[in-house]
Amino acid sequence: MITIGSLVIFGIVLLPVYIAVIAAFIGKPRQPKFAALIYGSALALTIVALVGIWIFGTIVSLIIP
Partner 1 sequence: MSSYKVTTDKILQPILHTSKIFLVSAAVLLSLMAVGAYAYLTQLTQGLIVTGLRDWGVGGGIPWGAYISTFVWYVGIAHGGIAISASIRIMKLDEYKPLARMAELLTILSLAGALITIIVDSGRPDRVFNFVVYYLETVGDSPLIWDFTVVLAYFVLSAIYLGMTMREDVIKLMSRLPSKYKILYRTVTFGHKEGEKEKVEQIAWWLALSLVILMALLSGGVIPWIFGLMPSQAGWFGAIQGPYFLTGALTTAVAGVIVVASIAVKVFHWEDLIPEKVFKHLSKMLLILTVIYLWFILHEHITAQYAGPTAEKAISDALLYGSLSTIFLPVLAILILSVIFLAIQTLRKAFSMKATLVLSIILLLTFWVKRLLIVMPSLLYPRLTLYPVGSYTPTWVEYTIIIATVSFVALAYMIFMKIFPIMEIKEGEQR
Q: Under the rule (CB under 8 A), what is the footprint of partner 1?
A: 1-6, 8-9, 12-14, 16-17, 19-20, 23-24, 27-29, 31, 34-35, 37-39, 41-42, 45-46, 49-50, 53-54, 56-58, 60-61, 63-65
> In whole angstroms, how close is the CB of 7 to partner 1 at the nearest point?
9
Radius of gyration of the chain (CA): 17
Q: CA–CA separation, 6 vs 24, rounded Å?
A: 25
Q: Which of 53, 58, 59, 23 is nearest to 38 (CA)?
A: 23
Closest approach, Cβ 30 to partner 1, in A, equals 9
